[in-house]
Amino acid sequence: MSEFAFTTQPIGFKNPSFVLSIDVESWEEANIDCHMPTNPSLVRQVDKVLEILAKHNAKATFFILGKVAQTFPEVVKSIASVGHEVACHSYFHKPIYRQTPEEFKADLLRAKQVLELVSGQKVCGFRAPYFSITRESLWALPILIEAGFGYDSSLVPVRAPNYGFVDGKEGFYRLCLSNGVSLIEAPPATARVFGYRVPLGGGYFKMFSKEPFIRKLADLQSRKLPAVFYFHPHELEELPLRKELNGVPFWIYWKENMGRRQMREKLELLLAAFCFTSFREGLGL
């Protein structure tokens, strides 16, 4: 893998705000089958997110599946119309390391095209489904650069069964490949929960106490360092997932429903305590 050797360079951040990022896919697409139809409940869930962000005067970056944009273009238009950034989350919610480079490139370009067409924005940011750019799929990085992406948010510096890039680091940096091309890497920050390093947000924020996450953001704020927080619209559903879980193992049912009723309250506390913006505004792109 020598052709994917890289070096890193620190970069500046336009302001001391934190970046808020939202991965937009229906629960079924991410947890059962990436080719399942997008659940119409996603429209309502995104509306709820937009309502909360407006209440707290927060801007965000929405990493949206191309399939979602194709099925529900009004979701993308509603996000873009109020000044949030539209970014790419692939077309299908399929791990990068389960694709060939040719398959990934086709999926990526298909998603970028539909997102730009529907949103009217130039799409310059990418986050892999499941943060699935790992040591085994670094070949995706030059494909992103070739496709015109300016930043990536996939190389989370944690060790997990299906994702994680332990050679990465926290913060924002320029990732320079050996062939001379580069892009900005800006993964979610991490926090320690019960001794384990986990990404800052998502299911971890939903399931566990908010305290480790708030402590981490407060520490970064005191040192004037940027950070990325993320979540999914479906995590704001207060009613337990039932119909969607037919045939799904019980432990997944338990994990997905744990903390669901408290998620909105915790998120609003976070938005009230810290200032959030989009990648585009924070990086000055």
Residues 46-88 pLDDT 10s: 999 999 999 999 999 999 999 999 999 999 999 999 999 999 9
Number of domains in the chain: 1
Question: Helix, strand, or coil here: 196?
Answer: strand
Residues 106-122 pLDDT 10s: 999 999 999 999 999 99
Task: Specify the DSSP class assigned to residue 158.
Answer: S
| The Cα angle at residue 138 between residues 134 and 140, in degrees rounded to 5 | 110
Element (H, E) at 269: helix 263-273
Which residue from 270, 171, 269 is spatially nearest to 224, judged by alpha carbons? 171
Structural domain boundaries, residue 17: 2-283
Which residues of the chain register pLDDT less than 50? 1-2
Task: Specify the DSSP class assigned to residue 136.
Answer: G
110, burial (CB in 10 Å: exposed 0-12, middle 13-18, buried 19+): middle
Q: Quick one: pLDDT at residue 198? A: 86
Element (H, E) at 218: helix 211-222
> What's the CATH code of the domain at 28?
3.20.20.370
Question: Helix, strand, or coil here: 202?
Answer: helix
Task: Specify the DSSP class assigned to residue 284.
Answer: T
